């Protein structure tokens, strides 16, 4: 039972171990995949050169640069409206008609004046008997009435004249302006025809360029002439051409080489003759020496032989063993050493006086044998033996040398003296010839050097001439090209100026026509005005004074009456004063115009009509707004102070979302403070050239500036924390399981930014690695990441 | 002692089990609260050098308190003054603290003939540093753009207006003004916050984000309902004190909340006592979508807090039990301890002596060999 339990336990453990190992194996194989699966995936890009576009946008309403408001100075009722918004009008054109003026106030005032005058007159008539005075008064009253009617007419005509005079002035100014413009343009055309282009910077620059090119050409031609002269001079000064000098040198060299070779051969033959004579004597001497040497070595060998014999005998007598054995000899030497050491000890013992020591040393010494004689005899024998062997070797060597000397002597031959003398004579003659050829060669070499130098100078001069000719050609071509460009520019400029001139002429013609028409109208109106309202007022005042005088006269006559008359007179005075007051009131009411029509004073377009038929208009109300023609349009948009820094006067402005945007030309004309928000904002004023209408709303973009930067990254790559802004790069690290990517923090400074990208400065820490712009999970510096598979 | 050994053993086993339950509960708590990215802005803002700790504070303001975006710069100025007085300064090129207001309104967006009404969130430029969002195209505003008229659309709004979501850089009209689409977002990074961001079908709920500068142009009187700060918090409650001093409103009009360490074990156990009060809303303060998600997480953490308290209590009780037993039997223990110590010391001395003898013997043998 126990065994079974044990077996079961072992089996369980085994299974668990197998499972564990299997799991570990799988995890190991798939560790990379598992690890990657858990890592956040990142995407990004390599930062590099790019551009940042900034622009300021805004919306504004178009306004005409000059508007005119049509107003009335009294309360009137509109009978009909003859224009609508958008209509183009001319000066004098009727815009509105007004209903008959029922000025009840004036009517009442006139009526009460009439009543007062009538009552006054009735009073006077009832009282006075002076019919003459009365008829005089009636005449004066009649005259006064006529004068007042004349005044009304005069006021109306005067206003028309004023309006017409204003228009004439405007047209005159415009005519003068166009006249001046035309004369300036004509002046420009004449200058251009004459080839002058003082006003155009481009043409002036081109002319200057042409001048410079012509000067360069002249200078190049001068240099060419100079170089040609130098070439001619050098060519004329050369006596001998290079080719002739070269062939002369080559001939001289050949002759010299041949002579020298011959000399060498003759020298060899001579030396051989001399050597052969010398060498025979040497060989003979050597033979004799070798023979002598042989004899000496033989005799020495004999002596050594006898020495050997005697030493051998002595050694045999001294030593009984083998005298030739080295081992026996060495043993003897060793034993002798021991004996010598014992002897030395004995001597020392004797010297010390120690009897025991002496005795023991003596005993030791007695036990040994002295082999000095044997060794001495053996040494003598050995020496004699080696001497004999050396002498034998010497004899062998001497014999060999003798045999060689003898052989050489038998083979040698000897030249005669006469042969040597002849050879010497020939040799000397050849040497003389070689010397002469050598001098000729040196001369030819010198001439060749001179010819080479001259030839080089000539070549240089030729090259200089060629270069100068090419330079002249190039400058000529440049001049021609610039001339062609200048002619083309002049022609274009002339065409442009002519077109402008034609336009200005037409405008001048139109404005002159308008001026003449208006002038004519003014003359007609002026002719209608015979007396001015002031003159008529004077006459009215005079007549009234006369009336007053006459009335006073009549009153005076009554004053002489009784008390009732006095009261009557007082009443008359009071009535007269009241009449005067009423007259003044009536005058004031009459001074206003009684126009039935409202006419336009200017050319333009109706921007707005604020009234309708039947409406009552109070004094000062605006009936219509007119955009005066030819004065342009503007648009204003508010911007912040920071936005205003990105804009400059003169910047082009583009319109967004407008079909006819390409036909409009918008330019920033001014940047001014916003009075409603001082220090917080500015107002940008934009001039519009093109077809727009007053009140139209436009969306504009100003100053699309594009700046280039070395490092541009997407905005999503810029991160920020308490230490400032930074980007994360994916830095690769090699591991046994493959490359791993770690997010690394690089601090940056943002230089510029638009809606998509930012330009940054990363300092020296950034080496253009992969910048992380987005990730599937939050990451930070040091996080391990995986790159998105592309 | 022997009679307590069984109790000690059982107590030890129970303590180990309690610690295991504590650990598992901690994992569950981290799973619930860890995904609420909006609550960890201070941890993200704090740099790796970690020299200064940061804290995140949320201020929920009633709509009738009259707090507008125009008042925020003044509050930021007073915060900066207080921090400077306490010798805190931002490193060069960095900000010392984060500040963002939040409000909600409705606007009409149109492209060509297509018009859509969408919920529009008006936020400060630091909003997305505190509440990270997933951007499917483009990026969000950071406050240093030249033009403030940029909008961020959600995918539903982008699809309704343009028929696609890769529309960063395109133009849209809003409130009569032409705006540039800066980016398109699929919502907050946290899934729990995303559920509160669009509680209904996310594909059908259009919404957009605009900067506070732009919202001031459209409606200067728009009321801010939430104001968030990430401030240096070197000691406990420093950041919230600064917030309470600088963002001052009448009682009942504002609530302050410290997000940092909101889901620490200590805090969620402390909140057990006030969990019933937190269900009741007494003021007129409005909570934005991320705070709703956080409050749901708070509610989910209540039973976890209970478990933390119980398991910690069990372990504490066991430790006390052990200490008390030791205290009761202290004389015996001291004595046996002394004996045990003495035996050990003797044993050590004997061993040392043996080593010395062996060494001396060896030395002698060597000397003999030499002789």
Q: How confident is the model at residue B251 (pLDDT cuts 50, 70, 90)?
A: confident
DSSP reduced 3-state for B166: coil
Overall average pLDDT of the B317-321 stretch: 91
Average pLDDT over residues A433-449: 92
Q: Which of A59, A723, A756 sits opposite B178 (nearest CB)?
A: A59
Over the stretch A178-218, which tens digit does the pLDDT of each residue have? 999 999 999 988 888 886 655 567 888 888 999 999 999 99
Q: Residue B33: pLDDT above 80?
A: yes
DSSP notation for B148-165: S-EEEEEHHHHHHHHSSS
Min mean pLDDT across A235-244, A479-488, A653-662, B314-323 is at: A653-662
The length of chain B, given as a count of residues? 371
Q: Which of A773, A52, A656 is nearest to B180 (CA)?
A: A656
Q: Which one has a higher pLDDT value, B39 or B277?
A: B39
Q: Locate all alpha helices (DSSP H) within A319-368, ordered by sequence.
A: 326-352, 355-367
pLDDT score for A789: 61
Q: DSSP letter at B287?
A: -
Distance CA A450, CA A463 (A): 20
**What is the spatial distance between Cα A431 and Cα A441, in angstroms, rounded to a whole number?**
15
Residues in chain A with CB shorter than 8 Å from the CB of B147 are 55-57, 643
* DSSP codes of every residue in B116-129: EEEEEEEE-TTHHH
* CB B28 within 8 Å of CB B307: no
pLDDT at residue number A771:
92
Structure-token pair, residue A306:
């006898």
| Residue among A249, A253, A491, A297 at smallest CA distance from A394 | A297
Judging by DSSP bridges, how do beta strands B171-174 and B98-111 pair with one another? antiparallel
pLDDT digit string, tens, across residues B152-200: 999 999 999 998 888 988 899 998 888 999 999 999 988 888 888 887 7
Residue A670, domain extent: 46-65+632-787
CA–CA separation, A230 vs A356, rounded Å? 126
The residue among A723, A769, A729 whose CA lies nearest residue A746 is A729
Structure tokens at A82: 């003859």
Contact B168/A at CB under 8 A: yes
Describe chain A by its helix, strand, coil percentages, rounded to 5. Answer: 65, 20, 20
| DSSP track, A415-447 | --HHHHHHHHHHHHHHHHHHHHHHHHHHHHHHH
3-state secondary structure A699-748: EEEEEEEEEEEEEEEEHHHCEEECCEEEEEEEEEEEECCEEEEEEEEEEC
Tell which of A371, A390, A415 closes a domain.
A415
Find residue A672's DSSP bridge partners.
A683
pLDDT, mean of residues A735-749 = 85
Percent of chain A with pLDDT over 70: 92
pLDDT(B1) > 60: no
Taking the CB of residue A600, how many other CB atoms lie within 10 A of it? 21
Which residue did the predictor score with more confidence, B229 or A553? B229
DSSP structural state of residue A680: T
Residue in A656, A756, A778 closest to B169 by CB: A756
Report yes or no on A586 lying in a domain.
no
Q: Does B73 touch chain A (CB under 8 A)?
A: no
Searching chain B, which residue's CA lies closest to the CA of residue A641? B146
A657: CATH? 2.40.30.170
Closest by CA position to A208, among listed A220, A219, A196: A196
Which residues lie across from A205 on neighbouring strands? none
- Compute the Cα dihedral for A152, A154, A158, A164 and give only its sign: positive
- A330 and A425 in a single domain? The answer is no
Quickly list H helices, chain B. 2-34, 41-45, 72-85, 127-130, 155-162, 191-197, 212-218, 238-246, 265-270, 275-279, 289-328, 330-370
Q: Please give the radius of gyration of chain B, using alpha carbons only, rounded to the nearest integer.
A: 32
Structure tokens at A650: 């003169």
CB B98 within 8 A of CB B229: yes
Query: How close B168 comes to chain A (CA, Å)?
Result: 8
Q: How far is CA A428 from CA A276, A422, A423, A431, in A?
A: 20, 10, 9, 5
In terms of pLDDT, which residue wins out, B326 or A472? A472
The three-point CA angle A86-A92-A93 to 5° equals 40
Do residues A311 and A384 make contact, with C-beta atoms less than 8 angstroms apart?
Answer: yes
pLDDT at site B286:
79
Same domain, residue pair A484 and A344: no
Number of domains in chain A: 4
Phi-psi region of A707 (alpha: psi -120 to 50; beta: other; left: phi over 0): beta
Can you name the residues that pair with A617 across neighbouring β-strands? A76
Strands (E), A65-116: 67-71, 76-81, 88-89, 94-98
Q: Half-sphere exposure of residue A755, counting CA atoms within 13 Å on the CB side?
A: 24
Considering only CB atoms, A756 lies closest to which of B54, B146, B168, namely B168
Same domain, A232 and A317: no
Q: Which residue has the tokens 């740099």?
A: B47
Tens of pLDDT, residues A265-316: 889 888 877 777 667 778 888 889 989 999 999 999 999 999 999 999 999 9
A41 has pLDDT over 80: yes
From chain A, the residues in CB contact with B144 under 8 A are 750, 753
Contacting B residues, span 79-98, partner chain A, CB-CB under 8 Å: 90-96
Compute φ and ψ for A630, nearest 5 degrees.
Answer: 80, 10
Q: With contact defined as beta carbons under 8 Å apart, do A383 and A312 qualify?
A: no
Q: How far are the Cα atoms of A115, A542, A584, A593 from residue A124, in angstroms, in the given order?
A: 14, 22, 22, 35
A405/A459 same-domain check? no
How far A667 CA lies from chain B's nearest CA (Å)?
A: 20
Q: Contacts from A762-765 at CB under 8 Å and sequence distance 24+?
A: A762/A47, A762/A711, A762/A727
Give the range with max mean pLDDT: A271-285, A703-717, B121-135, B290-304: B121-135
Identify the pLDDT of residue B361.
73
pLDDT tens-digit profile of A411-431? Answer: 665 556 677 888 889 999 999
- Using a 10 angstrom Cβ sphere, with 0-12 exposed, 13-18 middle and 19 or more buried, the burial of residue A620 is exposed
CA-CA distance, A76 to A597, in Å (whole number)?
11
Of the candidates B1, B77, B84, the one whose C-alpha atom is nearest the C-alpha of residue B246 is B77
Q: Are residues A401 and A472 in the same domain?
A: no
Nearest CA in chain A to B178: A699
Half-sphere exposure of B337 (CA within 13 A, CB side): 7
- Between residues A29 and A175, which one has the greater pLDDT? A175
- Give the domain-ending residue among A460, A488, A513: A513
Residue A445, pLDDT score: 93
Residue spans of the domains in chain B: they are 37-261
Query: Are both A207 and A252 inside the same structural domain?
Result: no
What was the pLDDT predicted at A412?
Answer: 63
CB contact under 8 A, B146 and A749: no
Q: What is the CATH number of the domain that holds A249?
A: 1.10.287
Provide the token pair at A225: 């002439």
Tokens coding A734: 């090699």
Is residue A267 located within the same domain as residue A411? yes
pLDDT at A553 over 90: no
Question: Which chain A residues touch B if contact means CB-CB below 8 Å?
Answer: 54-57, 59, 642-643, 646, 656-657, 699, 714-716, 718, 720-725, 745, 747, 749-750, 753-756, 774, 778, 780-782
> Which residue among A415, A441, A474 closes a domain?
A415
One domain, residues A740 and A719:
yes
Report helix, strand or coil for A654: strand
Query: How far does A627 lie from chain B, in Å, by closest CA?
Result: 27
The pair of structure tokens assigned to A365 is 């010494």
Average pLDDT over residues A325-348: 92
At residue A1, does pLDDT exceed 70?
no
Tokens of A5: 């339990």
**Is the predicted pLDDT of residue A88 greater than 60, yes or no?**
yes
Q: Which two tokens stand for residue B184?
A: 């398109």
Q: Is B101 helix (H, G, I), strand (E, B) or coil?
A: strand
Cβ(A668)–Cβ(A626) below 8 Å: no
Which residues in chain B are contacts of A677 at CB distance < 8 A? Answer: none
Q: Calculate mean pLDDT across residues A472-494.
A: 91
Residues A345 and A271 in one domain: yes
CA distance A76 to chain B (A): 40
The reported pLDDT for the residue numbered B371 is: 47
Q: What is the pLDDT of residue B74?
A: 92
Tell me the CB-side half-sphere exposure of residue A300, using CA atoms within 13 A.
17
Strands laid side by side in the A622-628 sheet: A67-71, A622-628, A604-609, A88-89
Q: Of A500, A498, A493, A499, nearest to A196 (Cα)?
A: A493
Cα–Cα distance for residue pair A490/A487, rounded to 1 Å: 5
Q: How far apart are CA A113 and CA B13, in angstroms?
A: 127
Closest partner residue to B49 (CB to CB) among A723, A755, A780 is: A723
Q: Say if residue A443 is in the same domain as residue A355.
A: no
Strands B114-123 and B98-111, how do they pair? antiparallel
> Is residue A542 a part of any domain in this protein?
no
| Distance (Å) of CA B312 to CA A659, B298, B302, B306 | 75, 20, 15, 10
Indicate which of B70, B135, B139 best probes the interface with A, i.e. most A CBs within 10 Å of its own CB: B139
Question: How far is residue B91 from each of residues A281, A298, A782, measured CA to CA in Å?
Answer: 112, 116, 22
Q: Quick one: pLDDT band at residue A593, thresholds 50, 70, 90?
A: very low
Provide, as residue numbers in chain A, all residues whose Cβ is less than 8 Å from the Cβ of B132: 778
Three-state secondary-structure class, residue A43: strand
Q: How confident is the model at residue B211 (pLDDT cuts 50, 70, 90)?
A: very high
């Amino acid at each position: 039972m126990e065994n079974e339990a044990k077996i079961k336990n072992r089996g369980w453990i085994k299974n668990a171990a197998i499972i564990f190992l299997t799991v570990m194996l799988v995890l190991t194989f798939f560790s990379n995949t598992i690890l990657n699966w858990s890592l956040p995936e990142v995407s990004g890009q390599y930062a590099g050169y790019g551009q940042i576009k900034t622009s300021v946008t805004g919306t504004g309403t178009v306004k005409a640069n000059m508007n005119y408001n049509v107003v009335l100075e009294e309360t009137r009722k509109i009978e009909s409206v003859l224009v609508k918004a958008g209509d183009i009008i001319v000066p004098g054109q009727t815009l509105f008609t007004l209903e008959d003026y029922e000025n009840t106030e004036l009517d009442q005032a006139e009526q009460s004046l009439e009543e007062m005058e009538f009552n006054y007159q009735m009073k006077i008539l009832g009282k006075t008997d002076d019919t003459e005075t009365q008829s005089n008064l009636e005449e004066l009253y009649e005259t006064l009435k006529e004068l007042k009617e004349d005044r009304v007419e005069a006021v109306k005509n005067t206003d028309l004249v004023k309006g017409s005079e204003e228009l004439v002035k405007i047209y005159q100014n415009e005519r003068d302006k166009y006249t001046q413009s035309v004369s300036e343009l004509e002046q420009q055309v004449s200058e251009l025809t004459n080839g002058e282009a003082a006003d155009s910077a481009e043409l002036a620059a081109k002319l200057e360029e042409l001048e410079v090119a012509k000067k360069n050409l002249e200078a190049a031609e001068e240099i060419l002439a100079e170089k040609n002269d130098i070439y001619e001079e050098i060519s004329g000064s050369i006596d001998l051409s290079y080719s002739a000098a070269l062939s002369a040198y080559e001939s001289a060299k050949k002759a010299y080489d041949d002579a020298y070779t011959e000399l060498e051969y003759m020298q060899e033959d001579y030396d051989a003759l001399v050597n052969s004579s010398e060498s025979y004597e040497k060989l003979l001497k050597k033979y004799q020496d070798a023979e002598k040497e042989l004899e000496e070595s033989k005799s020495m060998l004999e002596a050594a032989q006898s020495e050997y014999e005697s030493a051998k005998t002595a050694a045999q007598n001294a030593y009984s063993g083998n005298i030739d054995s080295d081992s026996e000899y060495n043993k003897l030497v060793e034993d002798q050493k021991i004996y010598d050491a014992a002897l030395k000890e004995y001597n020392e013992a004797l010297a010390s006086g120690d009897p025991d020591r002496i005795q023991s040393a003596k005993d030791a010494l007695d036990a040994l044998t002295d082999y000095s004689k044997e060794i001495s005899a053996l040494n003598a024998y050995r020496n004699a033996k080696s001497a004999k062997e050396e002498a034998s070797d010497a004899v062998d060597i001497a014999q060999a040398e003798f045999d060689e000397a003898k052989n050489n002597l038998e083979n040698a031959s000897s030249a005669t003296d006469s042969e040597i003398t002849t050879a010497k004579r020939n040799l000397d003659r050849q040497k003389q010839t070689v010397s002469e050829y050598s001098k000729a060669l040196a001369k030819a070499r010198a001439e060749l050097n001179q010819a080479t130098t001259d030839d080089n100078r000539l070549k240089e001069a030729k090259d200089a001439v060629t270069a100068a000719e090419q330079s002249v050609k190039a400058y000529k071509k440049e001049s021609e090209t610039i001339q062609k460009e200048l002619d083309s520019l002049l022609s274009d400029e002339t065409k442009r100026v002519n077109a402008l001139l034609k336009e200005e002429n037409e405008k001048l013609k139109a404005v002159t026509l308008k001026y003449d028409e208006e002038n004519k109208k003014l003359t007609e109106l002026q002719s209608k005005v015979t007396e001015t309202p002031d003159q008529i007022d004077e006459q009215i005042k005079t007549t009234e004074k006369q009336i007053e005088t006459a009335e006073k006269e009549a009153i005076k006559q009554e004053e002489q009456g009784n008390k009732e008359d006095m009261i009557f007179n007082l009443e008359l005075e009071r009535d007269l004063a009241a009449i005067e007051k009423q007259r003044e009131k009536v005058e004031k009411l009459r001074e206003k115009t009684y126009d039935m029509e409202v006419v336009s004073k200017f050319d333009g377009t109706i921007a707005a009509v604020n009234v309708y038929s039947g409406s009552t208009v109070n004094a000062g109300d605006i009936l219509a707004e007119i955009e005066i023609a030819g004065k342009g349009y503007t648009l204003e948009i508010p911007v912040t102070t920071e936005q205003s820094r990105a804009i400059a006067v003169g910047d082009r402005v583009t319109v967004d979302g407008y079909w006819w945007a390409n036909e409009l030309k918008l330019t920033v004309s001014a940047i001014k403070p916003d009075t409603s928000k001082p220090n917080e904002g500015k107002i940008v004023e934009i001039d519009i050239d093109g077809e727009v209408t007053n009140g139209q709303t436009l969306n504009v973009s100003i100053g699309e500036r594009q700046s280039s930067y070395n490092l541009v990254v997407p905005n999503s790559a810029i991160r920020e924390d308490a230490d400032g802004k930074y980007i994360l790069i994916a830095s690769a690290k090699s591991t046994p399981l493959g490359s791993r990517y770690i997010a690394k923090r690089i601090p940056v400074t943002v230089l510029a930014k638009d809606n998509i990208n930012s330009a940054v400065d990363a300092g020296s820490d950034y080496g253009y690695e992969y910048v992380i712009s987005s990730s599937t999970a939050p990451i930070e510096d040091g996080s391990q990441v995986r790159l998105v598979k592309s | 002692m022997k009679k307590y050994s069984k109790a000690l053993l059982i107590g030890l086993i129970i303590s180990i089990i309690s610690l295991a339950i504590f650990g598992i509960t901690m994992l569950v708590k981290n799973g619930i609260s860890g995904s609420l990215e909006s609550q960890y802005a201070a941890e993200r803002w704090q740099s790796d050098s970690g020299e200064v700790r940061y804290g995140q504070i949320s201020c929920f303001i009633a709509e009738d308190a009259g707090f507008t975006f125009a008042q925020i710069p003044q509050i930021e100025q007073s915060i900066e003054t207080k921090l400077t007085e306490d010798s805190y300064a931002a490193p060069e090129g960095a900000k010392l603290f984060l500040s963002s207001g939040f409000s909600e309104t409705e606007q009409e967006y149109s492209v060509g003939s297509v018009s859509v009404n969408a919920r529009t969130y008006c936020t400060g430029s630091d909003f997305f540093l505190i509440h990270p969002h997933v951007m499917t195209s483009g990026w969000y505003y950071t406050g240093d753009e030249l033009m403030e008229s940029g909008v961020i659309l959600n995918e539903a709004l982008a699809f309704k207006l343009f028929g696609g979501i890769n529309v960063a850089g395109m133009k849209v009209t809003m409130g009569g003004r032409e705006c540039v689409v800066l980016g398109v977002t699929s919502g907050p990074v946290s899934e729990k916050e995303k559920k509160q961001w669009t509680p209904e079908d996310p594909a059908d709920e259009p919404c957009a984000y605009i900067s506070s500068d732009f919202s001031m142009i459209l409606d200067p009187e728009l009321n801010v309902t939430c104001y968030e700060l990430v401030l240096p918090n070197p000691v406990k409650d420093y950041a919230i004190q600064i917030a309470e001093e600088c963002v001052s409103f009448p009682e009942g009009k504002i609530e302050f909340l410290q997000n940092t360490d909101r889901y620490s074990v200590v805090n969620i156990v402390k909140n057990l006592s006030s969990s019933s009060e937190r269900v009741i809303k007494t003021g007129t303060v409005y909570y934005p979508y991320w705070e709703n998600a956080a409050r749901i997480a708070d509610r989910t953490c209540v039973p976890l807090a209970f478990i933390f308290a119980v398991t910690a209590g069990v372990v504490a009780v066991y430790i006390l039990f052990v200490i008390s037993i030791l205290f009761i039997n202290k004389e015996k223990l001291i004595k046996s301890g002394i004996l045990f110590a003495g035996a050990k010391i003797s044993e050590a001395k004997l061993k040392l002596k043996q080593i010395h003898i062996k060494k001396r013997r060896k030395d002698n043998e060597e000397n003999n060999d030499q002789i």
